[in-house]
Amino acid sequence: MNLDQILSLVRTLLAAGGPISGLLVMYGVPNDKATMWLSLALIIVPPVVSAIWGIASKTDKAKVAAAGAMEGVTVTVAPTASPGAQAAAQDKSVPGVNPI
């Protein structure tokens, strides 16, 4: 995921606030409660999702796979590499990554 994709996701999450709040009010939630719950969700959800995404995307396997997925890049993984990098080299679905 690159910076443009992240910014697009943030814009989408922020833009969803109005319609979600409107639906809550439509179904009988008082306006102040809808605003409170929506504000709370916008405070909590993005950092939690960011933390989970950061942990998942920073594994050795994910980093090797991301490098190999770039056009014109071939990654060669040595036998002494970390287990995650070796797993990426053995995975046939990961493009551009080869074991030695």
pTM check: above 0.75: no
- What does the mean pLDDT of the chain come to? 82
Domains in the chain: boundaries = 3-57, 60-99
DSSP state of 99: E
Query: Higher pLDDT residue, 85 or 35?
Result: 85
Q: Which of these, 55, 60, 54, 93, lies nearest to 77 by C-alpha position?
A: 60
- Span 42-88, pLDDT tens digits: 778 878 887 887 888 788 888 888 888 888 888 999 989 989 899 88
Q: Above 70 in pLDDT, residue 1?
A: no
User: What pLDDT shows up at residue 2?
Assistant: 66
CA atoms within 13 A on the CB side of 10: 11
